Every structure is written in C-alpha cells, then in structure tokens.
Amino acid sequence: ARSAAAADPGPERKWEEAAPPEFVCPLSGALMADPVILPSGQTYERACLQACSDLSFLPPGAGSGSDAMIPNSALKAAIGTWCARSGLAAPRPPSKEAVREAVLRAMPPAAAAAADAKSVRTRRAAMASSSNSSYSSPASAASTSTYTSSSEITPAEDDAAAKPVKEAAKEVTQLELPVDPLEDEVVATVMDADEDGEVAAALAVLRDATRESAERRLALCTPRLLAALRRVLLIPRHASARVDATAALVNLSLEPVNKVRIVRAGAVPALVEVLRSGGSAPEAREHAAGALFGLALNEENRAAIGVLGAVPPLLDLLTSPAHHPRARRDAGMAIYHLSLAAVNQSKVARFPGASKALLSVASSAAEPTPIRKLALMVICNVGGCSEGRASLMDAGAVAAVSGILLSSHDVAELEEWCVAAIYALSRGSLRFRGLARAAGADKALRRVAEEGTPGGVRREMARKTLRAMRGDLDEEADLTGSSLECGDGDDCGGSIVSDGLMSFRRRQREVGASSCGNTAEF
C-alpha cells in the first residue's frame, strides 16, 4: 500500500490520483526520480533502498536474495514524459531525512524504534571516527576501473562504528582490474568520433577482441565500455555498428560474472530497442536475442530483464515465421529461461495474443520442429501459474495441445512436451476436465500411458493427468502441493515438474545447456 505522505511533500499533489501506480515508489509514496529494480522484479526509489540498508530493513517484495540494484532507465524516461505531458516538473531525488522517515513509517513500530536508535549511534560513531582518522581516500581512485558498491545496497554494520576510510580504500583496491587499452580506444571513439565509419571500425575490433579469451572478456566488461555499447545501440546514426555491438555483448555475456555486470550497466533496454526497431538489421536483431538469452541464463537477472520490457519483442520474434530460424531459436530460449521466473510467467500470460501465438506456432506442421518444441516449452512454463493456465485455456490450449499429441506421436520430442503441457494445464482446474474430454485428450493420454516405458516420465504424467480428468485426484493437493524447483531455479511459481519428476527436470536443464547458442563465434 502506498504511504499517505510522500518523501518530499510539495505545494501541489495533483499527481497523486492521476499518476500510474508503477511510477510511484511503494515506500515513499512519491514519483520516483531514480527508479531501480531488485532481482525480485520490484522497483523502488534508489534513495529509499539505501535508507532501508542503513536501517537494516528488508523492504516488501525485495526477497531474500542478492541486494543488487539495476537502474530502470526506461521507467525513469516514462516518468519524465508523463510529468512533461501533465505540466509537472520532473521528480527530484528525495532528501536523506525524508526517505529515512518514509522507511521508518513502513517498518513495524518496535523495529523502527530500535533502528532509529541504532542509526543515531552509528552517525555519532562515524563522526568521531572521521575526526580522529588521518587517512584519506586516494585521489586516483575515481579514475580507476572498479566494481564498487554504487550498484548495490550496502548492509549496515552490526557494530555502531563506521568502517575507517583506510579499510574502505583497501577494499576498493582489491576490486581493481587492469584497464584494457582497447577500452579507452573504443570509449573515446564512440564519444568523440565525427564519422560513423570510425565507430563501426572500432566496434569491429572490439567484437574480434571479445572472441579471444575469457580473460579478455572479463577485462573488457567494464561500466565505461558497456555504457559506450549502450550508446551505440540507442543512437540511430550508429546503426551500421549495431551488428558488431550486439555481437560483442553476446561474447561478453559468455562469462558468468559478466552476465550480472551487463544487466546492472543498463544494457537490457538498449537490446530491447534493437529488437523493437524496424531499422535494426536482421543480424543485429538476432544477436540481441542471443544476448538476452545469455543474460537470462543467470537466475538473478530474469525478473529484471522482464521488468525492462524484453518479453514482448522476444515473443514477437519467436512467433513470427518471417525471422531467421536462429533468431527465433535464441528468442525462444530467452523466453523459456525468463519464464522460469513467476513474474515473467504472468507477463507472457498478460501480453495480448501471446497464448494464441504460441499455440499457433506449436500446432503448425509448417514450422520447424525445434521452433515448435520451444513454443511448447514456453507454454509449459506459463502453465506453471494460475493466470497462465487461465490465459492458455482461454486461447484453446487444451484442444490445440491434444491435437498435436494425437497427430505427432511419431515425433518423440514434441510428444514429451505435449504431455507436459497438458499435465501443467490440469493442475487445480475443474475447468480442465470438460475441455480435455471435449478435445479427446484422454485418447492420446491413454496411448502414452499404455505404450510408454514403465516408470517413464511421460507415462507417469499421462497417468496422473488421466486421473485428474476422472476426478480421482485432488489436483491442488496432488499436482501442485509438492512443486519442486524447475529447470534452472526455484523461482518458477509452479512447474510441470512437481511430484518428484526429477528426470524431466534434468532434461529441462539439458535443454538450456545443449541448445546454448551464444558462443564466442560471433
């Protein structure tokens, strides 16, 4: 619920009733000046999250995982546009005292009182430490390529004293990385070059460099270089360099640690823009999908990538036969991994026409089998949440998947995912029974249950679904009550792999590993 008072109350509050709720910080109740996304997918004002950290308070919806903050530049721009159209000034960052008061109001009374008292002691100790310390931060630290806490919530220390500046400087030194000479060259060219050809040439060299080795990719994946790549992707006059820029991002994302750095650096909105732009070359669009696929392999990135708008253009790419099969394959793999996160299952379910488009691809005999399988894989994930099941059933999923199962029994990989999809749709739904009977799903499922390998996953899922159709199971208890982690993480909010179907879950993981298309060959 939104707080009754904003962090920085102004003379006019006419925006309160009209402002879209997603523009307002859940903690301060004010329009966000610097919105950031947590790995859970929740967006807050940056200053409010820092205040939460200072007060050792976990904000609602923040989850218990990583405390990384990812800038939401798209939302910031949308807020600015809305303010301009509404005749309002763009929001300014709230004061420290204002956000501190807002966070204290959001905390339970006892916790707020304890945190307030502790905060006072901490500030006093910090002032004493500062007056007694003879150390100062090296002036050169500002120009060093480092990965510091600027993009993270730094938890408050348990003891009252703040860390001496010398210790902080030592920690920064330990995080320093050698600067690759190519970084300076590329950044300078992108920022200062008058000719587009110079930028294109610099990006071609960078693309080649990112193919060389893991060490080179780690050294080049810096905030400065990523900012330069983002600039190339967003500025129309650099369109000729976009293919090499997106390919370089694909290559940089090969290193696991780089996947998080790239998302935190704000590259996702730029990749989304490449997918959306009609002026993007097909190869650039293909590489953008490949980069998002690579980034989505990291569980920590999935909610943020979805919040930053990647799902709709990826769905369009997957479901459009006009695009190259490899681009569609990478888009499908990206959506599959993104939809392992519950927040993205809902995004797919809510996107207009998404369920029908996925079912159309899965049902079309003219589509390549790997693309049909990817559509079914996404359908299975989306069926992991009640909203997804409702959307799919509204789109005729039970009849469509039953039809595929009846006509594609000779294609084992499609049959497996069809059974999994019907199994997902059967969970906790009385509506499913009538739809399945009308579609003749029982006939196809009986064949799988009778012909399948004894103890096999497909056979077991078919038997459970048939029992659900007959009403022999309490679907909620038997089919959803023991849901385990799906493929690459436990954030799926419901999965077809409940009831201990471990071998199917392993096969889901293998799909992500064996189909990985973002290699250093770009």
- Indicate if the pLDDT at residue 475 is higher than 70: no
> Over 80: is that where the pLDDT of 418 sits?
yes
Sign of CA dihedral 385, 390, 394, 400: positive
Looking at the chain, the whole-number percentage of residues with pLDDT higher than 90 is 43
Other CB atoms within a 10 A radius of the CB of residue 429 amount to 21
Mean pLDDT computed over every residue of the chain: 78
What pTM did the predictor assign? 0.75
**Which range has the worst mean pLDDT, 238-247, 386-395, 486-495?**
486-495
Q: Dump pLDDT digits (tens) for 111-167.
A: 767 666 565 555 555 545 555 444 444 334 334 444 433 344 433 334 333 333 333
**Mean pLDDT across the stretch 422-447?**
86
Between 520 and 261, name the one with better pLDDT. Answer: 261
* Angstrom distance (rounded) from CA 276 to CA 82: 21
**Calpha distance 99→512 (Å, rounded):** 42
pLDDT of residue 366: 93
5: left (phi over 0), alpha (psi -120 to 50) or beta: beta
Q: Is the pLDDT of residue 72 over 90?
A: no
Average pLDDT over every residue of 223-227: 95
Pick the closest to residue 311 from 376, 242, 244, 358 (CA basis): 358
The pLDDT tens digits for 303-347 are 999 999 999 999 999 999 999 999 999 999 999 999 999 999 999
Q: How confident is the model at residue 214 (pLDDT cuts 50, 70, 90)?
A: very high
504 band by pLDDT with thresholds 50, 70 and 90: very low
Q: Give the separation between CA 365 and CA 362, rounded to whole angstroms.
A: 8
The pLDDT assigned to 166 comes to 37
pLDDT of residue 268: 95
- pLDDT confidence of residue 455: 58
368, pLDDT greater than 90: yes
Per-residue pLDDT at 391: 95
**Is pLDDT larger for residue 324 or for residue 449?**
324
Q: For 31, phi and psi rounded to 5 degrees? A: -60, 140
Which pLDDT belongs to residue 20? 86
